[in-house]
């Protein structure tokens, strides 16, 4: 059933479950935050890519206002709750400064393949270890979804949008596994090359061959 949803277009892809912190300074979005607080509204973040408003976006919920400045600007915390498709876009919601859209909620099948998850986990660990992202390794929950790691896999924004458009966790797993199979050898070889370059400038304690 289509519904009217306030919209806050951004030049990025937000995933369901993701925490997004924003600094709000434009009057129209300050009004949007006030309405969310007063009316318990959610709002949508459709990616603005290649100077075009995307058809799909992520609905987010305002979790807290962390700081209010004397100027009226705000620091807020939000969290993604689901994906929607824009059926009709309005530059301004009725009587408001901010944009809105008639949207429909996209239903996703979130059932993961446990065997694929094990394969991807090994790949993700290799990637994070090669890049020195140990903090992300510690934060990797056993039952993580692809959305939970998608921003840290070297995907382009268009690839992230394609992932957002995928309506099953199994398909998202396949996309990420194929992506990691392509980039892991390149990343690992680059790290080996960097290590060789570092070692070339050092004094070496080498044992000569005995002949």
Question: DSSP secondary-structure letter at 109?
Answer: B
Distance, in Å, from the CA atom of 15 to the CA atom of 82, rounded to the nearest integer, reads: 8
| 49 exposure class (CB count in 10 Å sphere: 0-12, 13-18, 19+) | middle
Q: Which contacts (CB < 8 Å, 24+ apart) does range 121-130 have? A: 123/177, 123/180, 123/181, 123/184, 124/149, 124/153, 124/180, 126/184, 126/188, 127/153, 127/154, 127/180, 127/183, 127/184, 127/187, 128/152, 130/187, 130/188, 130/191
Ordered by start, the domain boundaries in the chain are 3-106, 114-200
Distance, in Å, from the CA atom of 78 to the CA atom of 98, rounded to the nearest integer, reads: 18
Map residue 164 onto helix, strand or coil: helix
CB neighbourhood size of 61 (10 A): 15
Percent of the chain with pLDDT over 90: 78
| pLDDT for the residue 135 | 84
pLDDT band for position 196 (50/70/90)?
low
Handedness of CA 199, 204, 207, 209 (dihedral sign): positive
| pLDDT for the residue 199 | 57
CA 58-63-67 angle, 5° bins: 120
Handedness of CA 152, 154, 156, 162 (dihedral sign): negative
pLDDT band for position 211 (50/70/90)?
very low
| pLDDT for the residue 132 | 84
Tokens standing for residue 130? 């090669």
Considering the entire predicted model, what is its pTM?
Answer: 0.85
Q: Across all residues in the chain, what is the average pLDDT?
A: 91
* CA count, 13 A, side-chain hemisphere, 42: 18
Superfamily of domain 3-106: LON domain-like (2.30.130.40)
């Amino acid at each position: 059933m289509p519904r009217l949803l306030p919209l806050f277009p951004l030049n990025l892809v937000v995933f369901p479950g993701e925490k997004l912190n924003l600094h709000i300074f434009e009057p129209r979005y300050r009004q949007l935050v006030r309405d969310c607080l007063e009316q318990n509204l959610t709002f949508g973040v459709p990616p603005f890519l290649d100077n075009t408003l995307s058809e799909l976006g992520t609905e987010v919920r305002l979790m807290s206002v962390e700081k209010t400045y004397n100027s009226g600007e705000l620091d807020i915390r939000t969290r993604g709750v689901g994906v929607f498709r824009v059926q009709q876009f309005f530059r301004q919601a009725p009587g408001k400064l901010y944009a809105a859209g008639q949207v429909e909620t996209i239903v996703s099948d979130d059932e993961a393949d446990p065997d694929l998850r094990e394969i991807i986990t090994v790949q993700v660990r290799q990637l994070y270890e090669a890049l020195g992202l140990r903090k992300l390794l510690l934060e990797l929950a056993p039952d993580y979804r692809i959305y939970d790691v998608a921003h840290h896999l070297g995907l382009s924004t268009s690839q992230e949008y394609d992932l957002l458009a995928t309506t099953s966790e199994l398909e998202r797993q396949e996309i990420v596994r194929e992506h990691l199979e392509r980039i892991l050898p390149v990343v690992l070889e680059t790290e080996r090359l960097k290590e060789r370059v570092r070692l070339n400038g050092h004094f070496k304690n080498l044992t000569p061959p005995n002949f």
